[in-house]
Amino acid sequence: MLVMVMETVPNNVRGELSRWLLEVKAGVFVGSVSGLVRDLLWELCKRKVLSGGIWQIYSYNNEQGFLMRQHGVTDKMIADFDGLFLLKKPI
């Protein structure tokens, strides 16, 4: 399972993602793709998003059952506490 969240990104990025994933809400994409496609989508988004931010959450074999990564300017930051991913708001 893959979830990608876009925050203030260009429409062409959302169009690219809609080829592979289902847009369930504006800027929120969900789907099931291979690890290679997941990583290629991530690299594509990183190249095309010059302002705004992106999140990617995907299934992984760890305690939480998923991994998270972010790029760009977002309203929250990922904090890794010994393998446990939490979100924190900047002060």
Closest C-alpha to 57, from 22, 31, 23, 82: 31
Residue 46 to residue 25: CA distance in whole angstroms: 21
Domain count, the chain: 1
36-79 pLDDT, tens digit per residue, is 999 999 999 999 888 889 999 999 998 899 999 999 888 888 88
- The domain that holds 38 is classified in CATH as 3.30.70.240
Q: How far is CA 54 from CA 25, 28, 79, in A?
A: 15, 10, 16
**Domain assignment of residue 83, given as a range:** 2-88
pLDDT band at 23 (very low <50, low <70, confident <90, very high): very high
Instruction: Name the pTM for this structure.
Output: 0.86
